[in-house]
Structure 1
Amino acid sequence: MKKALLAAALMSAGVVAHAQSSVTLYGRLDAGLEYMSGVPTGANANGAANSSSNRFKAESGDWGTSLWGMKGVEDIGGGNKVLFQLEGSFNTMTGAGPGGGGLFNRWATVGLSNSQYGTFTMGRMLFISNGVWDFDPFGQSNWSSASLVRGRNWPQSSNNFAYQSPKIAGFDFYGQYALSNATSWNGNGSTGQGREAGAQITYTTSLFQVRGLYDEIRNPANGQLWGGPVANNGINTANTANGVFAASREYSALLNVFLGQFKIQAAYQAVRSAGATGVLPGQPTTLNHEWGGVTWQATPAAALIAAVYHVNGNNGAGNATIYTVGGSYNLSKRTLLDLQAATVRNSRNANFGLNANNAGFAAATDNPLQGRQQTGVYAGIQHSF
């Protein structure tokens, strides 16, 4: 009888423990067809592209990264929870997974959460600069807020410790601190990542939302706030350095305004390097980046979007502007059709592309010829599960 009671008690405990834990598998598949003009071809004696052409391309991730992941939570009592998240990206068109970032190149975190004190996590995660996503009319699609800063707004970060506060009187705080894991605190070339850190404060009401964000990315080679000079008189054929786009400080002021069916969004970013050496003419050490746009939720299923993105670099780097329109139509709660058309206009010295390309003028970068424009149209389908 005692053995039977003990067995029943153990079984009941197992049922309770199971009820307090959950694991969720989720993902997103994005694929479509892309047309782009002004794609560089050929090369001159210096290795720079000397002609351009048009291209049709089967593409994955233009509207949003294709990804899959798992997340889970265990209630351990007293208002405390243990949680984890694993997430990796892939190419829907080829099935290829992430490269050097590993299987879970976007998220691999474990942490503790308390409804009163907030959430603390450790591991690999999207860097805090991705916090512009909530304020970008095109949600950091392939042709939006990351394009004119050459991917500076959407990196991942390893060795990271993060804290998210609960919301208090409309305010919340989020911060990250990532170690270099080198013998020199900021980085010395012995590891693949320099020290990274950032913090943001957000205030949200039913009418508007504002966010202030600061972050810094250190050069893993020497711990400096400068990504290094672009070689070959500004012609970076190997994409081995990215200057201010790779290592720098970033200051962001971001705004959302909610007006019924309309959402108006605007942002300003100051990107600043420090200790820059070997800087060549046309290679910026500071950037001023701003954008604005509006989303019209015409029906519960259909949304139309228009936005303008602009960047200006110092040291004769010039400026560029992206004009983009598009929208989405939800076939269901999980599936949508998307369309985007965009063009980038460069000043005489600039060669920014629609994609978040590395700096340089080689054909491999996909950047247009210097001073030229580039235009693209993308249509696709996206399914979430």
Structure 2
Amino acid sequence: MKRYLLLSCVSAVIAGPACAQSSVTLYGLISEGLMYTNNAGGEKQLQMASGIQQGSRFGLIGSEDLGGGTRAIFTLENGFSITNGTLGQGGRLFGRQAFVGVANDRFGQLTFGRQYDTMSQTLGGFEGAQQFATYGPPIGDNDNLFPTFRLNNNAQYQSPTISGLKFLTSYSFSNKAGGFADNSDFNAGLTYANGPVNLGIAYHSLLSPNDAGNSGGAVSGDYGFTSPFGTNPATGAAVGKQQMYGAGGSYALGQMKFSLLYTHTRFDYLDHSSLGLSNYEATVTDYLSPTVLIGLGYIYTDGRYEPTGKSPKWHQVETGVDWFLSKRTDLFLVGIYQKAAGDAQFAQIYDNSPSSSRQQFSASIGIRHKF
């Protein structure tokens, strides 16, 4: 249940009293379920898992009317495990989001703090994992659309929507004396919405992410979570630079929605090697009834290591059903199958250990409740 706090002030001491209207909303989401994996390091695994269908969270959203169409705004959002009650995002109190800023209906929104990157905001909605498929992003969430990591020290601007177009951009500061670019981040995105059509294009660049010598920089702690690409798997070299770009779109035909998404990620490692990954994704969802959503998705990831020329590839198929018991509570069942090909030696569905073979299957069943 959402709870609203309305504050008003009336001055009886001075003439011409000023009155500012503010609101604070408490919200949250709890998701829990069982996940079976047929091959996690060579063993079958059945586990209770938190946040399968969206990460569990609670938060506060606040707004104060400053007049003239301008508002002071803030968001504080905590992530946690419903399985054991521990904090998420590396033990941060408000690890999902923590920002404050100003918004104006005419000029847009400017915020400062720990925030989502604009590429994930621009393109994430075209990804099957965010539509229905639980832990179903491309291998290692290599484009961070899920998103696995957030940005610290982040200044972000979002324009108002004009003729269906909206522009987003942000810069995350290194905060390091004498190292302005060390562990910094820049990203930008452009969206277009018109009736059943939604489109997006975005770019994201990180310099020395998760640098051990600058833990106070833009990306720290949650980078490379369950990813096989956070370091060069052959040499162990860290990432010196990561660049991502992509484009996507969706079209709604009645209750059915078709989505297409392309992203490309390049990891430049400190030993002068590199890995390029291209992700091609197609998703379709349909409401069989007002309370039953089904989904089907396919992802093809094509990679290339340099200077070795090795070309790992992965195929991933995901299917699921979501049954809405009410506006706030639903039950879900999702199956994900991933197969390694080319020079790839293992499969690894998100939040799972690598398989001991070139195939892996995972099935999740659970409940999600929003308040």
Q: TM-score range by the shorter chain?
A: 0.7 to 0.9
Q: Distance in 2 between matches of 1:11 and 1:108?
A: 38
Query: Where do 1:6-25 residues align within 5 Å?
Result: 8=12, 16-17=19-20, 20-25=21-26
Give the letter for the 1:383 counterpart: H
Task: Select 1:355's aligned residue among 332, 350, 355.
Answer: 350
Identify the range of structure 1 (156-165 vs 126-135) with the bigger mean alpha-carbon deviation. 126-135
1:88 has 2:78 as partner: yes
Of residues 137, 159, 167 in structure 2, which corresponds to 1:145? Answer: 137
| Structure 2: gaps (5+ residues) | 1-9, 215-228
The corresponding residue for 1:259 is 253
Aligned to 1:133, the other structure's residue is in SS state: helix
- How much does 1:170 deviate? 0.9
Match of 1:100, SS?
A: helix
Task: Name the CA distance, whole Å, in 2 between partners of 1:305 and 1:11.
Answer: 62
Identity of aligned residues (%): 27
Structure 1 match to 2:181:
186
Aligned match of 2:263: 269
- Give secondary structure in 2 for the equivalent of 1:96: coil
Aligned to 2:221: none
8 Å Cα contact 1:147-1:355 kept in structure 2: yes
- Partners of 2:113 and 2:347 in 1: how far apart? 33
Give the direction of change, closer, same or farther, for the CA distance of 1:312–1:11 in structure 2 (3 Å limit): farther
Which residues in structure 2 correspond to 1:87-106 (within 5 Å)? 87-100=77-90, 102-106=92-96
Task: State which of 299, 302, 308 in structure 2 corresponds to 1:309.
Answer: 299
Residue 305 of structure 2 is aligned to residue 319 of structure 1: no
Q: Which letter maps to 1:118?
A: G
Tell me the residue number matched to 1:363: none
Instruction: Kindly provide the CA deviation profile for residues 321-369 of structure 1, in whole angstroms up to 9, marking residues without a partner as x.
Output: 1101002111111111111001100115322411156xxxxxxxx0112
Shift of 1:130: 2.0
**How big is each residue's C-alpha offset from its partner over 1:58-82, in whole Å with a ceiling of 9 and x where there is no partner?**
0111111001110100001111100
Q: Indicate the residue corresponding to 1:286 in structure 2.
A: 276
- Residue of structure 2 in register with 1:29 after alignment: 30
1:327-346 aligned at under 5 Å gives the runs: 327-346=321-340
**Residues 380 and 22 (structure 1 numbering): CA distance in 2 closer, same or farther, change over 3 Å?**
same
Q: TM-score of the superposition, structure 2-length normalised?
A: 0.84
Q: Is the 8 A contact 2:197 2:249 kept in 1?
A: yes
Matched-pair contact (CA < 8 Å) for 2:137–2:350: no
Scaled by the length of structure 1, the TM-score of the pair is 0.81
Q: 1:105 deviation in Å?
A: 0.7
State which of 101, 109, 120 in structure 1 corresponds to 2:110.
Answer: 120
Q: Give the AA of the match of 1:166.
A: P
Deviating 4+ runs (over 6 angstroms): 9-12
Whole-Å Cα distance in 1 between the matches of residues 139 and 15 of structure 2? 55
Amino acid at match of 2:258: I
1:111 to 90, 101, 106: 101
Q: Is the 8 A contact 1:228 1:277 kept in 2?
A: no
* CA RMSD of superposed structures (Å): 2.6
The equivalent residue for 1:198 is 187
1:142–1:186 CA distance, 2 compared to 1 (3 A): farther
Residues 237-266 of structure 1: CA deviation (Å, up to 9, x unaligned): xxxx664xx841111111111111110001
Distance 1:133 1:174 in 2: 14
Determine whether 1:58 maps to 2:59: no
**Conservation of the 8 A alpha-carbon contact between 1:263 and 1:296:** yes
When Rg is computed on C-alpha atoms for both structures, the one with the higher figure is 1
Contact 1:149 1:356 in 2 (8 A): no
1:191 counterpart residue number: none
Question: Where do 5+ consecutive residues of structure 1 fail to align?
Answer: 1-5, 41-51, 188-193, 358-365
* CA–CA distance in structure 2, aligned partners of residues 275 and 38 of structure 1: 29
- Counterparts in 2 of 1:99 and 1:255: CA distance versus 1, 3 Å: closer
Question: Contact 1:148 / 1:310 at 8 angstroms: preserved in 2?
Answer: no
Contact map agreement 2:119 2:188 (CA 8 A) in 1: no
In structure 1, the partner of 2:124 is: 133
The count of aligned residue pairs is 337
1:214 is matched with 203
**CA spacing shift, 1:77–1:339, aligned 2, 3 Å:** same
Q: CA deviation at 1:150?
A: 4.4
SS of alignment partner, residue 125 of structure 2: helix
Q: Give the match for residue 3 of structure 1.
A: none
CA distance in structure 2 between the partners assigned to 1:278 and 1:298 by the alignment: 51
Distance verdict in 2 for CA 1:62–1:181, change over 3 Å: same
CA distance in 1, matches of 2:15, 2:26: 26
Q: Partner of 2:359 in structure 1?
A: 373
Cα distance in 2 for residues equivalent to 1:229 and 1:339: 33
What is the rounded CA distance, in whole Å, between the counterparts of 1:199 and 1:38 in structure 2?
38
Higher strand share: 2
